[in-house]
Amino acid sequence: MTTTKRTSLISKATIDRLPLYFRTLRLVQDEGIDVISSDELGRRLGITPEQIRKDLASFGQFGKKGVGYYVNELKHNVGGILGLDNHWNIAVIGIGHLGAALANYQNFVSLGFNLVALFDQDPKVIGTVQNHVKVEDVRELAQIVRERHVDIGIIAVPAAFAQEVADQLVTAGVKGIWNFAPIKMQVPDSMHIVNEDLSIGLSRLSYYITRR
């Protein structure tokens, strides 16, 4: 079975758990722990050891029977599976409260992402600096995205402008979009997009605590 075919058979649930493994391994490493068992990893994540072993086995052989997983090695391997060693270039569009918070998120660098561009349409914001990056006029988006080889566009603009920004990012050739605008984007099937709607998350939480 080829790698492409094998990867296509891996469930979305397994893929969605990989970032949780990576984050936990980083924390474990910060604690000075060199080896961890699937039991301990599962305890920290609330996932069964069997599920962890099954997930990781989808990508190869990791760990040593009777010993466990070498934390640094497994973190490196999971990071590689997630593509974090590609050092993707990212841009944030919309430098309001949320966009500014994203622009100043320090873990981007430690995760292997490079913040290379910021955009806004407000003259008062254009020209200011966030996290050592100058905010550019959104009208220059397409040109700058190409010049700086932006791989991922992060949309943090109001819903009314989000689709237009997404269209520009697609045309400019980004590989993926992380969308924080509360609308469903229309993008080509070939474009990878992840939607984060904060209102949905809060509404879901409200539902559960109301029925507590």
Each domain of the chain, given as residue ranges in start order, spans 3-84, 87-201
pLDDT of residue 8: 54
The pLDDT tens digits of the residues spanning 132-166 come to: 999 999 999 999 999 999 999 999 999 999 999 99
Residue of 80, 87, 86 whose CA lies nearest to 59 = 80
Q: Are strands 133-137 and 129-130 parallel, antiparallel or unpaired?
A: antiparallel
Could you tell me which residues are annotated as the binding site for NAD(+)?
A: 94-99
pLDDT of residue 176: 97
Could you tell me which residues are annotated as the binding site?
A: 94-99
pLDDT of residue 36: 95
pLDDT of residue 6: 47
The pLDDT tens digits of the residues spanning 76-113 come to: 999 999 998 899 999 999 999 999 999 999 888 888 89
CATH for the 3-84 domain, from 1.10.10.10, 3.40.50.720, 3.20.20.70, 1.10.20.140: 1.10.10.10
**What topology is assigned to 87-201 in CATH?**
Rossmann fold (3.40.50)
SS3 labels along the chain: CCHHHHHHCCCHHHHHHHHHHHHHHHHHHHCCCCEECHHHHHHHHCCCHHHHHHHHHCCCCCCECCCEEEHHHHHHHHHHHCCHHHCCEEEEECCCHHHHHHHCCCHHHHHCCEEEEEEECCCCCCCCEECCEEEEEHHHHHHHHHHCCCCEEEECCCHHHHHHHHHHHHHHCCCEEEECCCCCCCCCCCCEEEECCHHHHHHHHHHHHHCC
Full-model pTM = 0.84
